Structure 1
Amino acid sequence: MEKKILIVDDEQDILDLISYNLSKEGYRVQTATDGMKGLEAAKNQRPDLVILDVMMPGMDGFEVCRLLRQDRAFADTAIMFLTAKSTEIDQILGLELGADDYLQKPISPRVLLARVKSILRRGGDAGRAETIVAPEILRLGNLEINRQNYTVRVDGKEAFFPKKEFELLAFLAANRGKVFSREALLRRIWGESVFVIDRTVDVHVSKIREKLGAYGTWIETVKGVGYRFTEQV
């Protein structure tokens, strides 16, 4: 089944260029020229990937990303920023809001296409990265991680985790007691060909800990190495 991609950018020449190149590869492409139209198009079309500019009139790309990630209907939708805003702070903000990738303009069509294929492939490979065979439902004390329907319950109450946060939590929990470096987690959760900073893992771990509440301490920082999940019951 062909993948649907929504491109949101206020520069028509950018929309035309990206749309042309992605359409040639067989993707169904829709475009929007501002954040509000992009949000509406996403809700109507349910794309597999949303490519967002940041600086747009009215609602900017960061706000669109935030609203999409708050909506459970888009838990499996990949989000990629393609923007001229390229400082580390901008990248961290985009990733904190739940983006799967953050690219800087200008970018060659061939590189963009490779990144699009990678991000969509990672979505199709969700849950295959565990180093051990784990049950579909992990029950650790009063924490329940359902790997089949991507839900997490904390003390019986469901907590919403965007896709990458869920995959990171599920991977660490399935391999509890093992220490993983940031680089290893990036490769396993984001894929071999993704080019994101190590800080991406730190940002996601911080958000996971916050949502786990008292169980957030179960994800331990191993200084100078990375992270491990240790059940403390």
Structure 2
Amino acid sequence: MDNLSIYVVEDDESIRTMVVYALNGSGYVARGFSDSRAFFQAVDEKAPDLVLLDIMLPGEDGLSILKRLRSTPKTARIPAIMLTAKSTEMDKVRGLDMGADDYVAKPFGILELLSRIRAVARRTVESGRQTAEEGNGIFEYQNIRVDEASHIVTVDGAEVMLTRKEFKLLCDLMRNQGRVLTRDQIMEQVWGFDYGGATRTVDIHINTLRKKLGDDGTMIQTVRGVGYKIGK
């Protein structure tokens, strides 16, 4: 996981400098930005492998930045870790709902931050590379076709653009056709950790995925009181 490029958006210069220094010293290629304008200018030139976003920023805040990232095909699958002084359950859930991969509450230690980055990178960047190298993972159910290696989803032959979380969620459902996945299982498989307070996050992503799949979104069935499945 060395040489991964990481962009750090943090308005506190002392924290930004410390984090960038620690990341560069740990084998990553890190750049720091104080606001969204400079960050998106850099993203337009070269998208990073992972982003650290402070929630409380002047002007456009971290959640708004995350929303823009997730709504753009070029950046929709970039892993994002939220850095925030807020640690309430609602703030955590909001970040996860909008597509964050993890969150670290301030004040945090550098060793903890590096550990979280490695965990997210293993679940996202490296696993994606491994899948592409293996060249496997094609799932089909009626009009829905998922090519896990190339990250392409088509419905009745037309490509559908999904965020990385939506794509992973659909892959897990397609891989387990006919089996019911509980919300806790989905949370563990898609987000990489079990966070009992975030079942709402799973429901929101399911609803968004259904909408993007159009009429075929009804293939994702709700099993009341248990979870979700595709197929009989």
- 1:227 counterpart SS class: strand
Q: Which residue of 2 aligns with 1:32?
A: 33
- 2:213 counterpart SS class: helix
Please give the root-mean-square deviation of Cα atoms over the aligned residues, in Å: 2.6
Tell me if the contact between 1:36 and 1:58 (Cα under 8 Å) persists in the aligned partners. no
The alignment of Structure 1 onto Structure 2 pairs a total of residues equal to 227
The AA in structure 1 aligned to 2:101 is D
- Indicate how the Cα distance of structure 1 residues 127 and 4 shifts in structure 2: closer, same or farther if over 3 A, else same: closer
The Cα shift of 1:214 comes to 2.1
Tell me if the contact between 2:184 and 2:196 (Cα under 8 Å) persists in the aligned partners. no
Distance (Å, rounded) in 2 between the aligned partners of 1:205 and 1:127: 25
The AA in structure 1 aligned to 2:201 is T
Q: Which residue of 2 aligns with 1:125?
A: 127
Q: Which residue of 2 aligns with 1:116?
A: 117
Gaps of 5+ in 2: none
Distance (Å, rounded) in 1 between the aligned partners of 2:174 and 2:19: 39
The Cα shift of 1:196 comes to 7.8
The AA in structure 2 aligned to 1:125 is S
Q: Which residue of 1 aligns with 2:222?
A: 221
Q: Which residue of 2 aligns with 1:198?
A: 199
- So what's the TM-score if we normalise by structure 2? 0.86
Give deviations 1:180-225, integer Å, cap 9, x for gaps: 2222222222225889833332222121112122222222222332
The Cα shift of 1:127 comes to 9.0
Give deviations 1:32-64, integer Å, cap 9, x for gaps: 001111122222232111100122122221221
Distance (Å, rounded) in 2 between the aligned partners of 1:10 and 1:196: 29
Distance (Å, rounded) in 1 between the aligned partners of 2:199 and 2:157: 33
Distance (Å, rounded) in 2 between the aligned partners of 1:163 and 1:52: 17
Gaps of 5+ in 1: none
Give deviations 1:91-125, integer Å, cap 9, x for gaps: 33322322212232222222111110000111112
- So what's the TM-score if we normalise by structure 1? 0.86
- Indicate how the Cα distance of structure 1 residues 135 and 118 shifts in structure 2: closer, same or farther if over 3 A, else same: closer
Distance (Å, rounded) in 1 between the aligned partners of 2:166 and 2:106: 26
